[in-house]
């Protein structure tokens, strides 16, 4: 279930529609969720990346950038926040029974608790502690 604060942000970002976009995070073993307006920002990032590559004399594959941008599932959710992540995405990141959502600005991440627990480094400690507490029934 999408928590109320996430639901509100995604609905506003998706033009008042209950529409969540979900894709595999490009480097982490988790999913990324966001609303439709995030695509506008990502399109601008593609333009900037292409410009930087041109200045540096480096190749830039705009087709691949578009492929990655639109390689997401469009998932509807009901007013209480219930939604279903396609099986192929769940399998990519090990989501089975539980799921942990972590807010991170213009998007949020969706984790299998066991995968999040395996992350190394102090930067993960707060999310790992919050996830572990929720798994024990805490708030």
Mean pLDDT of 3-13: 90
How far is Cα 41 from Cα 44, in angstroms, rounded to an integer?
A: 5
CA–CA separation, 10 vs 38, rounded Å? 10
75 against 136, higher pLDDT = 75
- Three-state DSSP at 119 gives coil
The pLDDT tens digits for 41-91 are 888 889 999 999 999 999 999 998 888 888 889 999 999 999 999 999 999
The label of the residue with tokens 């540096």 reads 56
**Hey, what CATH topology would domain 4-135 get?**
Chemotaxis protein chec (3.40.1550)
Mean of pLDDT values over 9-18: 92
The pTM for the full model equals 0.84
pLDDT in tens, 104-120: 678 999 999 999 999 99
Beta strands in 1-139 (DSSP E): 19-24, 31-34, 73-76, 100-103, 108-111
Domain ranges of the chain: 4-135
């Amino acid at each position: 279930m999408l928590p109320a604060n996430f639901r509100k942000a995604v609905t506003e970002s998706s033009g008042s529609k209950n529409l969540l976009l979900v894709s595999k995070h490009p480097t982490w073993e988790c999913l990324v969720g966001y609303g439709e307006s995030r695509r506008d920002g990502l399109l601008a990032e593609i333009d900037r990346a292409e410009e930087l590559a041109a200045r540096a004399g480096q190749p830039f594959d705009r087709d691949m950038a578009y492929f990655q941008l639109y390689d997401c599932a469009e998932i509807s959710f009901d007013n209480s926040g219930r939604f279903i992540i396609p099986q192929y995405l769940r399998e990519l990141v090990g989501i089975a029974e539980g799921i942990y959502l972590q807010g991170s600005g213009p998007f949020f991440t969706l984790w299998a608790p066991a995968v999040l627990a395996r992350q190394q480094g102090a930067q993960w400690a707060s999310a790992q502690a919050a996830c572990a507490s929720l798994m024990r029934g805490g708030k």
